[in-house]
A and B are shown apart, each in its own frame.
Chain A
C-alpha cells in the first residue's frame, strides 16, 4: 500500500479496524462474508470492541438505516440506496462492500453512456477474430467478477443508466446467473454475491427503474441529517477544511452564521420551522448539507475578497438566495413567504432579512 495514494479504498484505509473486528467477531457469518452482520453494522456505526479497540464511526446518523441495509444484504436481496445528493450513499455502499467482501472495487459507474458490456461482458476483439468465441476472448464486467468470487458488486447512479441496460441486471438478481449465449454457457454466482446500487431520488430526467427491476431491490432511503447539531457539525468541519484548501484569508466562520444557514436549510427542507410551530412551503431544490457547505464557503470567499474578512449576513445572502431559488417562479414565492412569515419575525435576524430582501426583490 503506497503512502502517495491520493485516496485509499475503505478496505485499505480501515484495514486495521476490519482485522480487529474479524478477530473479535464470534457470531455466525453468512457464507463468504468476511464479517457477521452485527460486525458489519458496528464497522459502519462505530463502537468499542470487547478488547477495548475503538472502531470509528463511518456513517453518522440513524442506526436503523444501517441495520436495514445489512439485514437486506444478509437475506441475499439486492440493496438500493436512495437519497438526495450529499447523503453519503456512495460512502455507505463502499464501506458495506469493504466490510462484507473485503473488497469495494467491483464497481460499475452508471452514466447515460453506460453500455450493456459494462454490466455483462465484452469481447477482446483481437482474440475473438483470431480464435473465435472462447472464454479467453471474453472481457468480464465487475459484476461477473463479483459473481465468480462471491463478493459485492456496486452499481453507482443506477438511474442514470439507460433503462434497457438497467434491465440486464434482472437476470443477475433473480437467477443469480449471467448467461453467455455466444459460448452456450453461463456464469453462476457463488454464495456471498450481491449488488448494492445507489441512485438519486431528486434528479429529473433520469431513467426510472422498471417495476421488474425495482421489485428485486430493497430500497433504503438515506435521510438528511436528523438533528441540527449533527448537521452544523458536518458543515462546520467541511467548511473549515475547505477554507484551508483555498487558503482564504478570512476569519474562520462564526458558528452563529453557520447555524443560521443550517437552520434555514433544515426549515425549508423540512417544511416546518425549527420550533415546530409554523409550517412553510418547500422549494424545489434539494438543499442538502453539501449545498449548505457551499453557501458558507462562498460567503467566506466573498467576505475575504470583497468584505472585511468577517463573514456577515450580506455575504451569506447571495449564496443563500441562489441555493434556494432554483425555479425562478415557484421557488421565489416560497422564499418570499419564508422571509416574510419566518425570518422577518425572528429576533436578531433583521440583518439577514434585509440582506435577503435586497437581493430577492
Chain B
C-alpha cells in the first residue's frame, strides 16, 4: 500500500474517467477504511455534494460552476459511474464519512481569468461552446490546467501561441502519460494506460507504482510554462486542504487526485510557502449546481483534458469483470441483429478467437478495443465498415443520458433567461397573449431573436403566427404563453450552455452535425437565421455544403437555395453575415445547373409541377442575387432545357417564358418556339401544359404581340371538339389566373380577330336548352359578343 511521508495520508493517483483506476480505487478505499476523502475538484461545489447520493441522481452528470453575473464564464466537471472521483465521493457518502473537494476554488480560478467586455447585448457576445473548445475546468487530465483550457476557449491571443506549440509536441506536457506510453512502445497514452491499468483486475501496488512513475516523470520533464502560477497554486491549495484535514485530527486521509499531482501531494512540506502563494487572491462570486450530461458529450472532449473517446467501452469495462471480449462482442452482435444484420453465435465465437489471436500477435495479454473492432469488422461485418459506425455511435460512445435530483438548484441558463426577460421587458406570464414585433426596432428584433432561440432549444414559450400581406416583411406575430413545464425544459437545455445564445448555438451545431438530409438542414438554416446565431451559421453552412455535395435530389437543392439567396440579398435587414453563405449559394447553384437537365426528363404532371415551382423560385433567387456569372450560367441552362426533347410541356413553356422575359429570346424566337410546341405533331395535353407554363402568372404578353396571339389562336381553333373539352379545365386554369382586365382585353381581342370561330359545334346532344339559355348572356358578355337572340322555336317541344 501507499506509504507517504505524512503517516496518516494516502495518495491515490488516478486517471480521470478510467474504469480500471475507479475499480482499484474503490477496492483500495474499502481496504483502507479512511475517515475522510479528499477529491480533486472544486470546493465551490461542496454545498451541492450531498445531492450526489440523492434520489434520482444518475450519472453521467456534471457539476456546473458559473458566475451569476457572467453566466458565459462557466466550468463543467462531468462524472460517469466509472469515474474514480465519482466512486470516491460515492464511497464517502455511502459510508457516512466527510468528503471534500480540494482543488483551487473556481471562485479564485475564474477571478484569474480576464474579464470579458461586460454589458454587451447578448446578440454580440462571443459565443463559447464547451463541446467544441477546450473543456473549461473539466476535471483535468494530469497536468492540464483548467486555466489553460479556459483560455483556449477564450481565444486569448497571448496563450494561443503556447497552446499550438503544445499540440505540436506529442501532448507531452498536457498528457505526461503519453510519454510513458511512447517509452513502452504504444501509439497513444490512452491505450497504454488501458492496457497497463484499466484492464487489471487486481489493484496490488498499483497506486504506489503510479506515484513512483509520476515522481520520475515530473523530475524529467521540464516544467510547463505557468505564467499565472495557476498550477502551483492549485497544488498549494490541495496541500493546504490536506493540512487542514490533518489539523482536524483525521487519522486516515484518502487523497484522490490526477496521477500527475500525486508526487506534489505526497511531500507536504511547510505550510508557509503555500499560504504565501494563495494570499490575497482575487475572488468572484460563483454558484454551483448539477446538470445532466451524456456519454456523447463526454467524448466531445477528445484530445483534451479528460475527454475520452469511448465512454461506452469504459462503461462496459466497468460493468464487466470477466470475459470482457466475449460480452462485448455479444453486445455488438445484439446491436447488429436489431439492425437486421445477420450475426450468429458462430460469428461471435470466431470474432473472439480472432481478437485473441490478434492480441497475441501484438504481445498483449487481452484483446483491447482495437482488436475487438478489427475482429468485428472482419468476422461480423464481412469487411464492411458501415455497421462499424453504428457500433461506434451506439456502443463505443454510447447514448446514455444522466439525470439529476429534482431539488437541484437553479441553473445558469434559467438565470440568464430571467435577465434577458427583464432586459427585453418580456415577462413570462401564464396567460396567453399576442405580440406584434416590428423588426425595424432593436428591442423587438431582439425579442424575436430570443423567442426563436428558445424555440430552437425546444422551449416553446412563443408560437410564431403566419403573417399575411405586406406587413410580413417587417412584422412578426407571436402568441406567447409561459408554462411551468418549460422550467424543466430549461434545465434539460442547460447542458447546451449557460446563456440562451450559447445554448441555442451549440444545439444548432449539434443538430447540424446530426442532420443527414438537405430539407432538414434547410429548415434549420431558416430557424438559425431567424434566431440570429452567427456562430452557428458557419458550421451549418459547412454541413449544407457537404450534404448538398452528395445529394442526388436536385429538388432538395433547389429548395435550399431561395432562403439563402434571400439572406444574401436582404442580409442587412437581419444583419447576418454573408461570407460562408456566398460559397454555399455558389456551390448549390453550380450543382443545380449540372443536375437539372438530368432531373427534368420524362416527368409526370405532378412531378413537373413540383419542379416548376422550384424552377421559378430559383430563377427569382438568381435574379435577386444580381450576379452576372450566375445569371449567364442560369440562362444557358434554361436555353438548354427549353430545347430538351423529353421535357414536360409545363417546364418547356416556363423556360421559354422566363427566357423571353429576360430578353434572351426575342419575340420572333418565342413565336417560333410556341409554334413548335403547339404544332399538330404535339400531343394536345402536352401543348396545353406548354401554354400553361408559358402563360402562368401573366397573360399580358399575348395582348402585346399579335404573333403569339395568332399562334395560340390557331392552335385552339384547330383542336378537335372532344379534345378541346378535355383540355378546357387546363386552359381555364391558366386563364383564370389572369386579372380581370387582362381577361376582358383578351376577350375583346378574340372578338375582333377570331369572331365566328369562337363557337364550337357540340353536336346533337340531349340538352336542357331552357337552362342552357340562361347562361348565354353571361358567356356573351365574357367573350364580348353581342347578346344572343335565341330563337324560342329551336327548343324542341316536350323537352324539359
Question: Residues of A at under 8 Å CB distance from B?
Answer: 37-38, 41, 64, 67-68, 70-72, 74-75, 77, 80, 82, 201, 211, 214-215, 218-221, 271, 277-281, 329, 333, 336-337, 340-341
A41/B354 in contact, CB under 8 A: no
A302 to B545, CA, bound (A): 37
B374/A68 in contact, CB under 8 A: yes
- 20 additional A-B residue pairs with CB within 8 Å, beyond A75-B350, A279-B545, A337-B594: A64-B374, A67-B358, A68-B354, A71-B360, A77-B350, A215-B346, A218-B378, A218-B379, A219-B378, A219-B382, A220-B383, A221-B385, A278-B549, A279-B546, A279-B547, A279-B550, A280-B550, A336-B594, A337-B549, A341-B591
A336 to B360, CA, bound (A): 50
A72/B590 contact (C-beta < 8 A), A67-B362, A219-B383, A279-B550 known: no
Q: How far is the CB of A264 from chain B (nearest CB, A)?
A: 16
B595/A333 in contact, CB under 8 A: yes
Question: Which residues of chain A are within 8 angstroms of B563 by Cβ–Cβ distance?
Answer: none
Is B316 an interface residue when CB atoms closer than 8 A count as contact? no
B378/A281 in contact, CB under 8 A: no
A277 to B541, CA, bound (A): 12
B353/A75 in contact, CB under 8 A: yes
Task: Identify the closest chain A residue to B591 (Cβ).
Answer: A337
A336 to B591, CA, bound (A): 9
Is B361 an interface residue when CB atoms closer than 8 A count as contact? yes
Question: Which residues of chain B are within 8 angstroms of A329 by Cβ–Cβ distance?
Answer: 598
Question: Which residues of chain B are within 8 angstroms of A201 by Cβ–Cβ distance?
Answer: 383
Digitize B228-256: 1 where CB-to-A-CB distance is under 8 Å, 0 elsewhere.
00000000000000000000000000000
Which residues 374-395 of B have a CB within 8 angstroms of A?
Answer: 374, 378-379, 382-385
Is B707 an interface residue when CB atoms closer than 8 A count as contact? no
A278 to B547, CA, bound (A): 10
Question: Residues of B at under 8 Å CB distance from A?
Answer: 342, 344, 346-347, 350, 353-354, 357-358, 360-362, 374, 378-379, 382-385, 542, 545-547, 549-550, 552, 587, 590-591, 593-595, 598
A71/B361 in contact, CB under 8 A: yes
B342, B350, B552: the one contacting A218 at CB < 8 Å is B350
Question: Which residues of chain A are within 8 angstroms of B385 by Cβ–Cβ distance?
Answer: 221
B587/A341 in contact, CB under 8 A: yes
Question: Which residues of chain A are within 8 angstroms of B384 by Cβ–Cβ distance?
Answer: 221
Question: Which residues of chain A are within 8 angstroms of B383 by Cβ–Cβ distance?
Answer: 80, 82, 201, 219-221
| 5 A–B pairs (Cβ distance < 8 Å), ordered by A | A70-B361, A77-B379, A201-B383, A219-B383, A337-B591
A337/B353 in contact, CB under 8 A: no
Question: Which residues of chain B are within 8 angstroms of A271 by Cβ–Cβ distance?
Answer: 550
Question: Which residues of chain B are within 8 angstroms of A280 by Cβ–Cβ distance?
Answer: 549-550
A324 to B380, CA, bound (A): 33
Question: Which residues of chain B are within 8 angstroms of A68 by Cβ–Cβ distance?
Answer: 354, 358, 374, 378
B361/A218 in contact, CB under 8 A: no
Task: Identify the closest chain A residue to B599 (Cβ).
Answer: A333
Task: Identify the closest chain B residue to A83 (Cβ).
Answer: B383
A281/B549 contact (C-beta < 8 A), A38-B361, A68-B374, A82-B383 known: yes
A75/B357 in contact, CB under 8 A: yes
A75 to B375, CA, bound (A): 12
Task: Identify the closest chain B residue to A174 (Cβ).
Answer: B346
Most chain A CB within a 10 A radius of its CB, from B353, B354, B382, B545: B382
A72/B354 in contact, CB under 8 A: yes
Q: Is the interface of B mostly helix, strand, loop or mixed?
A: helix
Question: Which residues of chain A are within 8 angstroms of B360 by Cβ–Cβ distance?
Answer: 37, 71
Q: How far is the CB of A100 from chain B (nearest CB, A)?
A: 14
Question: Which residues of chain A are within 8 angstroms of B346 by Cβ–Cβ distance?
Answer: 215
B361/A279 in contact, CB under 8 A: no
A211 to B346, CA, bound (A): 13
A279/B594 contact (C-beta < 8 A), A75-B350, A218-B350 known: no
A84 to B350, CA, bound (A): 26
Question: Which residues of chain B are within 8 angstroms of A75 by Cβ–Cβ distance?
Answer: 350, 353-354, 357
B378/A72 in contact, CB under 8 A: yes
A211/B590 contact (C-beta < 8 A), A68-B378, A218-B350 known: no
Task: Identify the closest chain A residue to B551 (Cβ).
Answer: A281
B587/A41 in contact, CB under 8 A: no
Question: Which residues of chain A are within 8 angstroms of B374 by Cβ–Cβ distance?
Answer: 64, 68
Most chain B CB within a 10 A radius of its CB, from A68, A71, A277: A71
Question: Which residues of chain A are within 8 angstroms of B595 by Cβ–Cβ distance?
Answer: 333, 337
Question: Which residues of chain B are within 8 angstroms of A70 by Cβ–Cβ distance?
Answer: 361
Q: How far is the CB of B538 from chain A (nearest CB, A)?
A: 12
A211 to B344, CA, bound (A): 11
A74 to B353, CA, bound (A): 10
Task: Identify the closest chain A residue to B379 (Cβ).
Answer: A218
Most chain B CB within a 10 A radius of its CB, from A38, A75, A214, A278: A75
Task: Identify the closest chain A residue to B547 (Cβ).
Answer: A279
Q: How far is the CB of A92 from chain B (nearest CB, A)?
A: 14
Question: Which residues of chain B are within 8 angstroms of A80 by Cβ–Cβ distance?
Answer: 383
A67 to B363, CA, bound (A): 12
Most chain B CB within a 10 A radius of its CB, from A70, A82, A337: A337
Most chain A CB within a 10 A radius of its CB, from B346, B549, B595: B549
Question: Which residues of chain A are within 8 angstroms of B546 by Cβ–Cβ distance?
Answer: 278-279
Question: Which residues of chain B are within 8 angstroms of A281 by Cβ–Cβ distance?
Answer: 549-550, 552
Task: Identify the closest chain B residue to A80 (Cβ).
Answer: B383
Q: How far is the CB of B330 from chain A (nearest CB, A)?
A: 17
Q: How far is the CB of A46 from chain B (nearest CB, A)?
A: 17
Question: Which residues of chain A are within 8 angstroms of B347 by Cβ–Cβ distance?
Answer: 215
A74 to B360, CA, bound (A): 11
A99 to B144, CA, bound (A): 48
A340 to B594, CA, bound (A): 9
B590/A218 in contact, CB under 8 A: no
Task: Identify the closest chain B residue to A222 (Cβ).
Answer: B383
Top 8 closest pairs, chain A to chain B, by CB: A219-B383, A279-B549, A71-B357, A221-B383, A279-B546, A71-B358, A340-B590, A336-B594
Question: Which residues of chain A are within 8 angstroms of B550 by Cβ–Cβ distance?
Answer: 271, 279-281
A280 to B547, CA, bound (A): 9
A74/B357 in contact, CB under 8 A: yes
Most chain A CB within a 10 A radius of its CB, from B346, B542, B587: B587
Q: How far is the CB of B303 from chain A (nearest CB, A)?
A: 17
A200 to B23, CA, bound (A): 47
A329 to B362, CA, bound (A): 48
Q: How far is the CB of A315 from chain B (nearest CB, A)?
A: 26
A215/B594 in contact, CB under 8 A: no
B361/A37 in contact, CB under 8 A: yes
A343 to B595, CA, bound (A): 17
Task: Identify the closest chain B residue to A81 (Cβ).
Answer: B383
Task: Identify the closest chain A residue to B359 (Cβ).
Answer: A71
Question: Which residues of chain A are within 8 angstroms of B552 by Cβ–Cβ distance?
Answer: 281
Question: Which residues of chain B are within 8 angstroms of A218 by Cβ–Cβ distance?
Answer: 350, 354, 378-379
Question: Which residues of chain A are within 8 angstroms of B545 by Cβ–Cβ distance?
Answer: 278-279
Question: Which residues of chain B are within 8 angstroms of A71 by Cβ–Cβ distance?
Answer: 354, 357-358, 360-361
A271 to B552, CA, bound (A): 14
Question: Which residues of chain A are within 8 angstroms of B382 by Cβ–Cβ distance?
Answer: 214, 219
Task: Identify the closest chain B residue to A70 (Cβ).
Answer: B361
Question: Which residues of chain B are within 8 angstroms of A278 by Cβ–Cβ distance?
Answer: 545-546, 549, 587
Q: How far is the CB of B764 from chain A (nearest CB, A)?
A: 53
B354, B549, B593: the one contacting A77 at CB < 8 Å is B354
Task: Identify the closest chain A residue to B590 (Cβ).
Answer: A340
Question: Which residues of chain B are within 8 angstroms of A221 by Cβ–Cβ distance?
Answer: 383-385
Q: How far is the CB of A76 from chain B (nearest CB, A)?
A: 9
Task: Identify the closest chain A residue to B633 (Cβ).
Answer: A340
B590/A337 in contact, CB under 8 A: yes
Most chain B CB within a 10 A radius of its CB, from A82, A215, A271: A215
A338 to B379, CA, bound (A): 36
Task: Identify the closest chain B residue to A82 (Cβ).
Answer: B383
Task: Identify the closest chain B residue to A339 (Cβ).
Answer: B594
Q: How far is the CB of B546 from chain A (nearest CB, A)?
A: 4
Question: Which residues of chain A are within 8 angstroms of B594 by Cβ–Cβ distance?
Answer: 333, 336-337, 340
B361/A74 in contact, CB under 8 A: yes
Q: How far is the CB of A219 from chain B (nearest CB, A)?
A: 4
Task: Identify the closest chain A residue to B355 (Cβ).
Answer: A71
Q: How far is the CB of A45 from chain B (nearest CB, A)?
A: 12
